[in-house]
A and B are shown apart, each in its own frame.
Chain A
Amino acid sequence: MRPAGDGEPRPASAPGGAGMGLSCLGVSFCYEEGGTQLPALRDVNFELPAGGSLALLGASGAGKTTLLQVLRGLDRPDSGAVLLDGVEPDGAAYAGLQREVGLVFQAAEMQLFAATAREDVAFGPRRLGWPEADVATAVDAALDLAGLPAGDFGERHPYSLSGGEQRRLALAGVLAMRPRLLLLDEPFVSLDPGTRRDLVAVLEHLKASEITLLLATHDVDLAWSLCDQRLLLTDGCVEAAGDWDFAGAGGSLLAANRLREPFLVELWRRLGRDPGSAPRTSDEAAKALA
Chain B
Amino acid sequence: MTTSPTIVPLIDISGLQYRYPGARADALADLDLQIGKGEFVAVVGANGSGKSTLARLAGGLDKPGAAQRALACGHDLLTEAGRLAARRDVGVLFQNPENQLVAQCVEDDVAFGLENLGWAAPEIRRRVDEMLARFLLEDLRLREPHLLSGGQKQRTALAGVLAIPRRALVLDEPTAMLDPAGRREVQVAVADLHAEGLAIVYVTQEMDEVVAADRVIALERGTEVYSGSPSGLFADTALVRRLRLGLPAAGELALALGERGRGPARLPLTMDELLAHLEGSA
Q: Mark contacts of B256-270 with chain A using CB atoms, 8 A cut-off: 1 yes-contact digit, 0 otherwise.
A: 110111100000000
With the chains together, A290 CA to B181 CA distance in Å? 33
In the complex, the answer to whether B274 meets A267 with C-beta atoms within 8 Å is yes
Does A192 sit at the interface, judged by CB under 8 A?
Answer: yes
Cross-chain contact A270 with B275 (CB below 8 angstroms): yes
Residue of B nearest to A219 (CB): B180
Within 8 A of B (CB), among A180-231: 186, 189-197, 218, 220-221
The verdict on A136 contacting chain B, using a C-beta distance below 8 Å, is no
Per-residue 0/1 for A265-278: is the Cβ within 8 Å of any B Cβ (1 yes, 0 no)?
01100110000000
Instruction: Decide if B275 touches A287 in the complex (CB within 8 Å).
Output: no
CB-defined contacts of B244 to chain A, threshold 8 Å = 192-195
Q: In the docked arrangement, what's the CA distance between A270 and B257, Å?
A: 18
Report the interface size class on chain B.
35 or more
| B61 adjacent to chain A (CB < 8 Å) | no
Give min CB distance, B42 to chain A, whole Å: 14
Q: Is A260 an interface residue (CB 8 A)?
A: yes
Given A60-B182, A194-B244, A195-B244, A189 and B257 touching (CB < 8 A)? no
Of the 9-residue stretches B45-53, B123-131, B224-232, which lies at the interface with chain A?
Answer: B45-53
Closest-CB distance, B208 to chain A (whole angstroms) = 9
Asked if A271 contacts B278 (CB within 8 A), the reply is yes
Asked if A127 lies at the interface with its beta carbon under 8 angstroms from chain B, I say: no
| B67 within 8 Å of A (CB atoms) | no
Q: Flag if A285 contacts B180 (CB, 8 Å).
A: no
Contact B256 A195 (CB under 8 A): no
Q: Which residues of A contact B207 (CB under 8 A)?
A: 193
Contact yes or no, B179 A258, CB < 8 A? yes
Q: A59-B179, A189-B177, A258-B181 are in contact. Are A290 and B261 (CB under 8 A)?
A: yes
Count of chain A residues with a beta carbon within 8 Å of a chain B beta carbon: 36
* Alpha-carbon separation in the docked complex, A260 to B183 (Å): 11
A263 at the interface (CB under 8 A from B): yes
* Residue numbers in A under 8 Å from B181 (CB-CB): 59, 258-260
- A197 pairs with B149, CB closer than 8 A: no
Chain B residues near A193 (CB, 8 Å)?
A: 205, 207, 244-246
Within the complex, the shortest CB–CB distance from A239 to chain B, in Å, comes to 14
Distance between B31 CB and nearest chain A CB, rounded to angstroms: 18
Residues of chain B at the chain A interface (Cβ within 8 Å): 24, 45-48, 95, 149-151, 173, 176-182, 205, 207, 241, 243-246, 249-250, 252-253, 255-257, 259-262, 271, 274-275, 278
27 A-B contact pairs sorted by A residue (CB < 8 Å): A61-B150, A162-B46, A162-B47, A162-B48, A164-B47, A190-B176, A192-B45, A192-B245, A194-B244, A194-B245, A194-B246, A195-B244, A197-B246, A221-B249, A258-B182, A263-B249, A267-B253, A267-B271, A271-B275, A286-B256, A286-B259, A287-B260, A289-B257, A289-B262, A290-B257, A290-B260, A290-B262
